Structure 1
């Protein structure tokens, strides 16, 4: 089942992309869209995004990742949101991981916030993050957590979207080229 989400308008500097719709993919749609999702992931990693993968990212590894995500959607362990352009192409995605330990039923993690490089700086990431907020509320989640590369563009996005910076861990991960990078953690409460 697909749920259309109406994202809140982004900041004044980057208005909502007029031809992009943010939607929630159900298990079947998630499984049938792994090729398009892999395209976005590969593009982001090639562009230097530190999102758990190294460059070069083999396509079979990207496809396997998205198959696992689709399985998680089918098990109701995560929500998969996509930004779709007027031509029906997936240009961005983000996940809400809802499967949490027994003592954290009110919490979810935000993961793999990705926008294809050709579609950046058009408000799509802001639309995706607003949809995450709407989805989290609908799922009964009151605390969200995410992490991102310290000093990257995403840090500014999350701050503008009302997320609270809670700390930084130096040398937490590797960039796709193998360089160490710090990670900043953010949370959001409703």
Structure 2
């Protein structure tokens, strides 16, 4: 097993690695990740997300994109959205923690979150928020990292592989 390295990606890095990032998102959605997409999820849709939503935020500032690699392979990503209103400059939102199914259970998600918190601290953010599908395998990860549930919203988002609506748990952590 190769050593995992985590680095921030610039907008130019994202453009260079767009096919790999699209493949990562698609693999996670196909594996059932509740990250805003439903099946069928094609590579065009996956790449459009990175190219449309993430790239513009990186270019504008206010977003950190962290990428975990094993060797030269992108194994996971997470985003820190700190583009907040003036009365919320103390907080940021964790978005799209993704670990490729082939690289799960190796501590990559925990390492990405630890690095994300380091970046948040450096940006003088003292409160992080996130949402996760209630009962999902990520929920215990966040709890183990010190995140607390603020509440559950029923029927929040459609399931990845079904037409049922899943609840989401809103979580937070004071840094």
What band does the TM-score fall into relative to the shorter chain?
Answer: over 0.9
Task: Quote the RMSD (CA, aligned, Å).
Answer: 1.2
- Which residue in 1 is equivalent to 2:149? 165
CA positional deviation for 1:102:
2.0
Q: Does 1:82 align with 2:79?
A: no
CA–CA distance in structure 2, aligned partners of residues 117 and 67 of structure 1: 22
CA positional deviation for 1:78:
0.8
CA–CA distance in structure 2, aligned partners of residues 99 and 131 of structure 1: 18
> What is the aligned counterpart of 1:180 among 165, 170, 174?
165
Runs of 4+ in structure 1 off by over 6 angstroms are none
Q: Secondary structure at the match of 2:86?
A: coil
Which one has the bigger helix percentage? 2
> What is the aligned counterpart of 1:123 among 107, 116, 119?
107
CA–CA distance in structure 2, aligned partners of residues 138 and 31 of structure 1: 26
Would you say the 8 A contact 2:2–2:70 is kept in 1? no
> What is the aligned counterpart of 2:96 among 109, 112, 127?
112
- Which residue in 2 is equivalent to 1:70? 55
CA–CA distance in structure 2, aligned partners of residues 147 and 18 of structure 1: 31
CA positional deviation for 1:18:
5.9
Aligned residues: 173
TM-score (norm 1): 0.88
- Which residue in 2 is equivalent to 1:149? 133
CA–CA distance in structure 2, aligned partners of residues 48 and 149 of structure 1: 11
User: Which blocks of at least 5 consecutive residues in structure 1 are unaligned?
Assistant: 1-16
Q: Does 1:132 align with 2:116?
A: yes
TM-score (norm 2): 0.95
Q: In the TM superposition, what whole-angstrom CA distance separates every residue of 1:81-136 from its partner, at most 9, and x where no partner exists?
A: 010112x1111000001111221111111000000001001100000110111010
